[in-house]
């Protein structure tokens, strides 16, 4: 029986995680496009703090920024084959993705929060309306008995 050790684990291309880590970003993107799972881990190790920083500065909610950071690193797994090194570096591709997704999330959160405030106002208005109706009914009931 063969014992699995980290140095024995290799991607389909034959490279270990450590060897993938020694490649340039563009080479890692080629491996990611070929479906090698450790390639996204390499990018995550290199750029997760940067992406979290971008997301945090735009969203202003740390928990949301952390969730978005994880979502952002799923995207390159799906679209790595579309990456073109002649149009920019992998780092800039990831930063642009982080920026766009962060702006979208901020818009979503703003919309969600504004809907929640409107809902609170409507509920408050209904409550006030019910109280006014009850007061009016008690006044008219008192007038009817006198």
> Using an 8 Å Cβ cutoff, are 40 and 77 in contact?
yes
In total, the chain counts a number of residues equal to: 146
Question: Above 50 in pLDDT, residue 1?
Answer: no
What does CATH list as the number for 17-108?
1.10.1740.10
For the segment 105-130, the average pLDDT, to the nearest whole number, is 73
> Using an 8 Å Cβ cutoff, are 102 and 58 in contact?
yes
Q: Tell if the pTM clears 0.75, that is, is over it.
A: no
First to last CA, the chain: 98
> What are the two backbone dihedrals, phi and then psi, of residue 30, each rounded to the nearest 5 degrees?
-65, -45
- Structural domain spans, the chain: 17-108
What is d(CA 84, CA 126) in angstroms, rounded to the nearest whole number? 56
Instruction: Give residue-wise pLDDT tens across range 82-109.
Output: 888 888 899 999 999 999 999 999 999 9
């Amino acid at each position: 029986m063969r014992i699995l050790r980290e140095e024995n684990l290799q991607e389909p291309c034959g490279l270990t995680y450590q060897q993938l880590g020694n490649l340039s970003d563009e080479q890692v993107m080629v491996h990611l496009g070929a479906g090698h799972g450790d390639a996204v881990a390499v990018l995550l190790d290199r750029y997760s703090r940067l992406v979290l920083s971008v997301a945090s500065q735009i969203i202003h909610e740390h928990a949301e920024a952390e969730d978005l950071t994880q979502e952002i690193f799923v995207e390159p797994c799906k679209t790595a084959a579309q990456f073109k090194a002649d149009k920019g570096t992998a780092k800039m591709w990831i930063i642009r993705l982080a920026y766009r997704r962060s702006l979208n999330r901020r818009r979503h959160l703003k919309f969600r929060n504004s809907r929640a405030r409107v809902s609170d106002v409507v509920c408050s208005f209904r409550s006030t309306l019910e109280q006014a109706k009850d007061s009016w009914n008690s006044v008219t009931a008192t007038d009817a008995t006198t």
